Amino acid sequence: MADIQWIKITVDIFDNRKIRQIESMPEGESVLLVWLKLICLAGSVNDGGNIYFTKEIPYTEEMLATHFNKPLSTIRLALKTFQSFGMIKITNQIIQLSNWEKYQDTSRLAEIREQNRLRKQAQREREKEAKLLTLRDCHVTDCDNHATEGEKEEDKDISKDISKDISSSKLHQKNSNCPYQDVVNKFNEICVSYPKVIKCTAKRIKAIKARWTEYNQNFDTFVELFKKAEASPFLKGNNKNKWSATFDWLIESANMIKVLEGNFDSKGGEKLASEKPSFSEFRKLV
């Protein structure tokens, strides 16, 4: 349990009849001092009045003599007196102060214990975050020199996760002002004759953002592009080579300007289809 910084002792402690009896004994003052030290030790352990070195190691009389800097005979006399007066119980060598909850504010002690737990939890989170940041900035080969094989694999996994998070965050920030998803949705809505776009990949986002910047962030330009594409028989496959355009083809810079300038409008497309251009001429068009 976490240590606490205070215990509660009433101002009339020396008016207690048990304390008065102990004080009248030949070694009364030394025994009372042991009592006060036991109360402080119980507060330090902070486990409902139980006193132990660890949960697996109880205090022996010799250990208490060393801890309290008192003769062993005084410790033995004190413990025997406290037991006979019902002030302590010793079960499985664990000392327990009787009526601990009566004299100590256990709700406050529990609150302190919970605060300590939350403080330690927050500290562990900070340490974990610091480690993640260190791994992000640390070259893998530098870190490997000081890590076990298991730690290396764990650090690599953490580093991958961090890289993914950072890349995703940067991509979102970079394209936060570009309505790339709206562009894709508009294509799917207008260009019903073309294969639908089901995933907005990083490559597509990059291309859309480039066209968005190139055409002065005008969304209507994309609308016009998709309407022309849907109205063009040539782009939908009505040509000698049975070739048809795709979303990725349409948003390429050179292709987009051709479509917007009317190179593939219905009339031109019909002419191109009837004249059956050669493959080299076809390549120039697309």
Burial class (CB in 10 A: 0-12, 13-18, 19+), 12: exposed
Within-domain flag for 164:
yes
C-alpha–C-alpha distance, residues 246 and 270, integer Å: 19
For residue 92, pLDDT over 90 is answered with no
The reply to whether 223 and 132 lie within a common domain is no
The pLDDT mean for the chain works out to 79
pLDDT band at 113 (very low <50, low <70, confident <90, very high): low
> Beta-carbon neighbour count of residue 59 at 10 Å?
21
pLDDT in tens, 166-182: 454 444 444 458 999 99
280: CB partners within 8 A, 6+ apart: none
The reply to whether 227 and 252 lie within a common domain is yes
pTM of the model: 0.37
For residue 162, pLDDT over 50 is answered with no
C-alpha–C-alpha distance, residues 70 and 52, integer Å: 18
- What number is the average pLDDT over the span 5-26? 85
Within-domain flag for 1:
no
Strand order of the β-sheet with 88-91 is: 50-51, 94-97, 88-91
pLDDT in tens, 122-133: 888 888 877 777
Provide the CA 258 distance to its chain's centre, in angstroms: 49
The reply to whether 184 and 281 lie within a common domain is yes
- Cα 124-130-131 angle, rounded to 5 deg: 90
The reply to whether 184 and 278 lie within a common domain is yes
Q: Considering 131, 159, 174, which residue would you say is the last residue of a domain?
A: 174
The reply to whether 163 and 187 lie within a common domain is no
- What number is the average pLDDT over the span 203-220? 93
Residue whose C-alpha is closest to residue 187's, from 199, 196, 178: 196
Q: Which of 78-87, 148-157, 168-177 has maximum average pLDDT?
A: 78-87
Number of Cα atoms under 13 Å in the Cβ half of residue 113: 14
The reply to whether 150 and 97 lie within a common domain is no
The reply to whether 184 and 229 lie within a common domain is yes
For residue 60, give its domain range.
Answer: 13-104
Within-domain flag for 117:
no
The reply to whether 37 and 84 lie within a common domain is yes
Which CATH number does the domain housing residue 55 bear?
1.10.10.10
80: CB partners within 8 A, 6+ apart: none
How many domains in the chain?
A: 3
Within-domain flag for 47:
yes
The reply to whether 135 and 186 lie within a common domain is no
Q: Considering 104, 130, 149, which residue would you say is the last residue of a domain?
A: 104
Q: Given this model, what pLDDT does residue 99 score? A: 80
pLDDT in tens, 223-244: 999 999 999 999 998 888 889 9
Asked if 259 and 236 count as a contact pair (C-beta separation under 8 A), the reply is no
Within-domain flag for 110:
no
